[in-house]
Structure 1
Amino acid sequence: MNRRPLLPSWLPVDGYVLALLGTVGLAALLPASGAAATAAGSAATGVVALLFFLYGARLSTREALDGLRHWRLHLTVLGATFLVFPLLGLAARGLVPGVLTPQLYGGFLFLCLVPS
């Protein structure tokens, strides 16, 4: 039997999202420090890895192969991520003296170069 928590019908948020927001709120109110912060960081890394694994494990082989057939979309995303955004970041160097400060340009360039 699949039992889900009862949420009001007018609430357009999934229960998982509410739990995630609650966790962030709790962490903001009660931050970890010292050895507990190290343990919490390690646990967070492990949980994120587990979530990615479980999401990939439930993906059927057929769905994965169907996704690979969209090679034009994948090339477009890769081109935008690794070519267009870095070139935009480098082109923004021309805005440094007037529009952007050197520190702001450094942060903008970092955002353009980091794929995620």
Structure 2
Amino acid sequence: MFGLDPFLLSLIGTVLLATFVPCHGAAVPVFRWLAIIVIAMMFFLQGARLSRKAVVEGLTAWRLHLMILCCTFVLFPLLGLALHAVFPGLLQNEVWLGILFLCCLPSTVQSSIAFTSIGGGDVPAAVCAA
């Protein structure tokens, strides 16, 4: 379907499912733990597939890690501030504060690794950076 990766389709499907059929009541703690376990398994399995040499090479990619840190903690917050400066009345101040907060957060471990893998990037470096 449109040449999209099966993982990406699954991710979109999961978001749509959670939007229209959210978890309620007694199922919330079960799915919270299930999500934690699945994320941990995904991180472990991605790391377990790597050779020791690949992990060391990923750890020593300091230019890549520096670029990731600069984008995450400098570029994205500056983009959030720039958006607020250009469109100050578009959203309430509390919403802008939330957007700036999101601009300061790193991406999730599973998306960093999964999207790097899908894009044919350096998965060992992504695992180490995550």
TM-score band w.r.t. shorter chain: 0.5 to 0.7
Offset of residue 20 of structure 1: 5.4
CA RMSD of aligned residues (A): 3.3
Match of 2:101 in 1: 110
Q: Give % identity.
A: 47
**TM-score for the superposition, normalised by structure 1:** 0.64
Q: 1:101 to 1:53 in 2, by over 3 A?
A: same
- Mapping of 1:1-116 within 5 angstroms? 12-15=3-6, 31-90=22-81, 94-95=85-86, 97-98=88-89, 101-116=92-107
Distance in 1 of aligned mates of 2:59 and 2:65 = 8
- Higher relative contact order at CA 8 Å, sep ≥6: structure 1 or structure 2? 2
Gaps of 5+ in 1: 1-9
Residues 50-69 of structure 1, C-alpha deviation per residue, up to 9 Å, x if partnerless? Answer: 11111111111111122233
TM-score (norm 2): 0.58
The 3-state SS of whatever aligns with 1:33 is coil
